[in-house]
Amino acid sequence: MEASTESSNMPEEVIVVEAGQKRKSISDSEDSEQKVVQDQEKSKEHKPKQPRQKRVKGRLENDFRDKNDISNAEYIVENVKPYFFEYRAYAKGRWMQRTLINVFTEEFQDRNEKYYRHAMETGLITVNGESTNPDHIVMNNDVLGHKIHRHEPVVTGKPIEIVHRSNDLIVINKPGGIPIHPAGRYRHNTVIHVLRKELNIDRLFRKLLICYINISDMYNSCKNFFSILAANRLDRPTSGLMLIGLNSEKARQLEAEMTGGFIQKEYVCRVVGEFPEEEIVCEEPLKTISYKLSLNYVHQDGKASRTVFKRLSYNGKTSVVWCRPKTGRTHQIRVHLRYLGYPIANDPIYGNGHPWSDLILKGQTLNDESAEKVVQKVMEVATFPEGMWEDTEDKNGVKEIKPRCDECGIILTPDPSPKELFIWLHAWKYAGKDWAYETALPEWAEESFSE
C-alpha cells in the first residue's frame, strides 16, 4: 500500500484529489490541539458515565445482510462481469474507538490513504448510511459502507461437475481455481454462487455450519447466508470432491461425521522429486503464522496434525502421492509435504523457487521469530490489486500508462493464465458410514503425465 508521507503534526496543504474536488485545509497548531484536549477533559468531568452499548443481536426487518442479488449476476465463462456494489458490515470490536481513516488504511490495504480520504469526502464511504469525515470515531453498532465498482478476480472456466444429487445433498467435483464461499475480493465468482445461479437454488436458511476464517470480514459480510452448505472445505486452487447439504439437517449430519472423524478422505498430488516408496506418516504440529496471508507452517506451538503419504508413481522428475489426512488443519497436506522436502510441484506458496523458500527448509520447525521472518518476506513480494491512485513508476521516475476501467478508473490487471489458477492437489475419495464417492483422477495424476 502506498502510505501517506504527510506528518500528522504539520499543517496540511490543499490537495487536489480529482478535477473540481479539493481536500479542505486544516490547521494543526500546538495551541489548538492543547485547547481541544483541555475542553475534552472538562467535558468528561461533567458528563455521567454512559452504560456500555450492547451489540444488537438477531435480525432486524430489512437487514442489509439479507439482500439476495444472485439473479443479477451475469457470468461470462464462469466469470462475473464487473458490477456496482456496496460493502456493508457492523463495526468489529477491534475497530471501535479508532478513526474511520485508521480502520480503512490498516484493515483494508488494497487501496491507499489518499483514495480512502477521497472516498470519505465524496460519500463513497459511509457510516450508518450517512457521509462522514475521516476523523469519525467508530462506535459499537456502527454500520460501515463502501460503494465501489467491483472487479472480481478471474477464476477457472472449467465446469463444476455434479457427481451425485439428491433432495438433501449435492456432491460435486470442484475444479481448481475457484473459491467455495464469498470472501475477500470474491463473491459471485465462487462455487456457492455459481451453483445457486445454475441450479436456481434460493436462500433457504442462514446458519453456516463450517467455520471459515478470513480477516477481510467487512468484505465478507454475507458469507453466513447461503442456501447450500459445504460440509468440507477446499482451498481455492485445490480440486476435487465437495459435499454440499441442501438443508440444515443434512448439513448438521455431515458436520457431525466430519468433526467426529467418521469420514475417510483420500487425496492425490504431484510433488517435486522421487518420493520414498514406503508409507510416510507426518505428525508435525501446524500453526497459522499469518491470518492476513492465510500462511501456515510447522511451528513449535502448533496444533496436533497427522497425514499419511504413499507414492503411487514416479516419472523421473515428479511423483504422484496418495494422501490421507487424519486431521483437518488449514493447508495441512501442502505444509507437511513441504516439511518432508517434497512440496507440491506447482504450489505458489509452499513450493520451491520463491523468495521465502530458503526460510522454510526441509525438516525445519518454526518459532515466533523465524515465523515472523517468513511472513515479512512474503509481504515484501506480495502484490495487492492496484487502485485508481496507485500509478507505478519505472526506474527513471516515469509513470507507467496502464489500461483502466471506463466506469471507475481502476487499473485493469492482466488475467492469470489457466495454469496459474490451480495446483496439483485433488480430493479424490470421500467415504462415510454408509456412503462413498470418488472422482476420476485428474490428467496430471496419470502415470504417463509429463510436465
Residue positions annotated with a catalytic role: 235
C-alpha cell at 124: 463513497
Count the neighbouring beta carbons within 10 Å of the beta carbon of residue 41: 9
DSSP 189: S
Please give the C-alpha separations between residue 133 and each of 8, 22, 148, 418, 432, in angstroms, as whole numbers: 16, 14, 18, 43, 55
Can you tell me which residue has the cell 506528518?
7
C-alpha cell at 126: 459511509
Please give the C-alpha separations between residue 230 and each of 63, 224, 251, 282, 323, in angstroms, as whole numbers: 24, 12, 8, 27, 21
Q: 346 in helix, strand or coil?
A: coil
Pick from 427, 345, 378, 415: nearest CA to 189? 415
CA 313 to chain centre: 34
Residue type present at position 387 = G
DSSP 299: B
Pick from 134, 125, 101, 132: nearest CA to 26? 134
Residue type present at position 425 = L
Pick from 443, 442, 449: nearest CA to 173? 442
